[in-house]
Structure 1
Amino acid sequence: MTEANPFTEDVVAQIMRHMNEDHAGDSRMIVQALGGRPDAESALMSGMDADGIDFVAVVGGEDVQVRIPWSRRLTERIQVRREVVRMSDEARDVLGLAPRDGR
């Protein structure tokens, strides 16, 4: 039996809006480095649940679905931010990019 998703549709929509408006570059890096799509031209968050985050990446002009699991099952909204920051930092490291200022 699967546990219920602790994140309501409105919370997921708010997180997606923030990610897609303010962090599209981070999404692309995460998909490239951690989602197995180094050829992604762009990526937007398309959903999430307690177990992972979903993106739609553009690869060769085509939309490709990419799901990346969290490091652990999430139960609270604050954990989402921490996981995305962790993923972004890990992606920068994998891609050989300098760490973000202040981290």
Structure 2
Amino acid sequence: MADPITPEISDRICKHMNDDHASAVLTYAHVYGKTPTAAAAAMSAIDPLGMDLTAQVDGETVSLRIPFDRELTDSEDAHQVLIAMIRQAKTPSA
């Protein structure tokens, strides 16, 4: 069974995303955070309802809250939702 999303699990997920998937985090900011001019972004927290990002937009640091479309159950659920979100973001609109 996967871990519940505690502050410690949030820190682990954020570190992994920022270290290994920085381009995905920037895509989350661009698409879901509605900041297409963001030059950089970092995930600062994740919880069952959404993720918090900080983004560099036009030389300023802005905080973004990106809600999930449903409440997450655990870390594996978070993993699957983050993958689905990046796939959806990269799919051209029909």
- The one-letter code sitting in structure 1 at the alignment partner of 2:37 is D
Bigger relative CO (Cα 8 Å, ≥ 6 apart): 2
Flag structure 1 segments of 5+ consecutive residues without an equivalent: 1-5, 96-103
Compute the TM-score of the two structures, normalised by the length of structure 1.
0.81
Give percent identity, aligned residues only. 34
How many equivalent pairs are there?
Answer: 90
1:94 deviates by: 5.2
Normalized per residue, which structure has more strand?
2
| Separation in structure 2 between the aligned mates of residue 44 and residue 85 of structure 1, nearest angstrom | 16
Compute the TM-score of the two structures, normalised by the length of structure 2.
0.88
* Residue 49 (1) aligns with residue 47 (2): yes
Segments of 4+ moved more than 4 angstroms: none
| Separation in structure 2 between the aligned mates of residue 65 and residue 37 of structure 1, nearest angstrom | 11
The Cα offsets for residues 38-72 of structure 1, whole Å up to 9 and x where unpaired, read as 11111100111110011001001111111111120
Flag structure 2 segments of 5+ consecutive residues without an equivalent: none
Superposition RMSD in Å: 1.4
